[in-house]
Amino acid sequence: MSKKIVILGAGISGLTSAYWLFKKGFDIKILEAASKSGGSMQTEIIDNFLIDYGPNSGLETTPLIRQIVEEVGLVDEFVYANESSKNRYILKNNELHALPMNPLLFIKTKLFSTKAKLRLLAEPFVGKSVDGYYQSVAEFVRRRLGGEFLDYAIDPFVSGVFAGDPEKLSVKSAFPKLYRLEEVYGGLIKGMIKGAKERKQRAEQSKQSAKMFSFINGMQSFPQAIAKKLEQNILYECIVKKVKKVDDKWEITYEKSGQLNKIYSDIVFSTVPAYVASKIFDELDSELSNHLNEIYYPPVMVLYLGFKKESVQTPLDGFGFLIPSKEQKHFLGAIWSSAIFPNRCDEDKAAFTLFIGGARSPHLFDIEKEKLIDIVLKEFKEIMKIKSDPLILKDKFWEKAIPQYNLGYIEHELYFEKFESNNPGIFLSGNYRGGISVGDCVKNSEIRTQNIDN
């Protein structure tokens, strides 16, 4: 008889976990609190403007992404980013500077001083850290690459990926591959050269060289297509209350339409956010709940803007731009949405997605919403040299956006492993374990399901 598995959450981690298990022949049920699947992958189309309120794209870091896309019938919608979107810009002294993508451009760029460029040449001669587990991204980068590189490359990059603070993020937990370059190869430059051979053998792409992808109708298409394959196995508007052991089964109590219900399973896959999981498992293990509650999810506002293309005086020849902390703006950066993928708006329009707040500046939400948006809009228009008002302005506030892999995160990771060892049949998954990107979630879901035997 097939083992019964209950998956908590129908975000991308829950759906891909369910997908692999369903293919193996398990009897699966997914419990989702919302009325639809996809989690933070939410897409809306207004007046031909396509708005992604969550992830705007993914990186094809694993062949598993293409495999799922093909198997769920999404190939015709799958699109890679335009070649020009490889250009990334950093704001410095109110001007946009292209991030140099090769040694010659690095020598020529005005983004870094001559002193900073010479400092980078010393990187192969910098020794290893004594204790990388408790080393912030900022400490790691200052030591290996210098302060200026931290300020104008890594600081904005970290805010772009995590909406995070490099002084607080753990380099070991947040950027394990970066940390590994030092640990295994003795340095970043040496490691990038030697590590490329390893990735080739594993058929993996580094995040630097992986192709960026999305879908003609936005990122929500991905979870929706997987959910369609599994629609008989998904129960929506089910709020999971607790999980406990009853005899040799796991009893999951959930609320639907105001009524409490119970479902029993051999295995439970939790893919809900840490702060949700903490309540579900509190009775089973209060120490686990403490660890889960300590994971910080900062607030982030997504601000979507659409303009007439002719009113934008800055060439849209890139992915967008990021803003270093030192520039003291009221937003983290902007994606030039319509320049990256097709079908984002009409040809004579231009669309942008801005990000506000994050771990770097949660205090901004003390400002009245309309006032904050006005400030950000004014700053953005000045940077982009836009004279007209937007044709469309939409915002989405994520009170708890992206889990921060902050200093000491290793303590959480070790306890999660201990909890799973003490409670065979329960698996903790989601973007607070093993990486926050779409590619990480897909890859980790496959890794965590491959050792379960039916």
Separation of alpha carbons 267 and 101, rounded Å: 47
Comparing 448 with 6, the larger pLDDT belongs to 6
Q: How many CA atoms lie within 13 A of 38 on its CB side?
A: 20
Q: How many CA atoms lie within 13 A of 384 on its CB side?
A: 34
The mean pLDDT value for 166-182 works out to 91
Torsion, Cα 74 317 54 90, to 10 degrees, reads 140
β-strands 300-308, 349-357 pairing: antiparallel
pLDDT tens digit sequence for 89-131: 999 999 999 999 888 888 899 999 999 999 988 888 888 877 7
Domains of the chain: which residue ranges?
4-41+61-77+215-295+404-449, 112-210, 298-398
Separation of alpha carbons 47 and 237, rounded Å: 30
pLDDT of residue 351: 98
pLDDT of residue 239: 98
pLDDT of residue 60: 95
CATH top class, domain 4-41+61-77+215-295+404-449: alpha beta
Q: Is residue 215 over pLDDT 90?
A: yes
pLDDT of residue 240: 98
Q: Is residue 205 over pLDDT 60?
A: no
Would you say how long the chain is, in residues? 454
Q: Is residue 440 over pLDDT 70?
A: yes
pLDDT of residue 347: 96
Do the two domains 4-41+61-77+215-295+404-449 and 298-398 of this chain adopt the same fold?
Answer: no
DSSP states along 78-145: EEEPPGGGG-EEEEETTEEEEPP-SHHHHHH-SSS-HHHHHHHHTGGG----S-GGG-BHHHHHHHHH
pLDDT of residue 186: 82
Which CATH number fits the domain 112-210, given the four candidates 1.10.3110.10, 3.10.290.10, 3.40.50.10490, 3.30.530.20?
1.10.3110.10
CATH top class, domain 298-398: alpha beta
140 touches 188 (CB < 8 A): no
- Reduced to 3 states (helix: H, G, I; strand: E, B; else coil), residue 385 is coil
Comparing 365 with 180, the larger pLDDT belongs to 365
The mean pLDDT value for 274-290 works out to 97
pLDDT tens digit sequence for 362-411: 999 999 999 999 999 999 999 999 999 999 999 999 999 999 999 999 99
Nearest in space to 358 (alpha carbons), one of 102, 168, 107? 168
Confidence of residue 35 (pLDDT cuts 50, 70, 90): very high
pLDDT of residue 189: 79
Separation of alpha carbons 264 and 251, rounded Å: 5
Instruction: Work out the mean pLDDT of the chain and round it to a whole number.
Output: 93
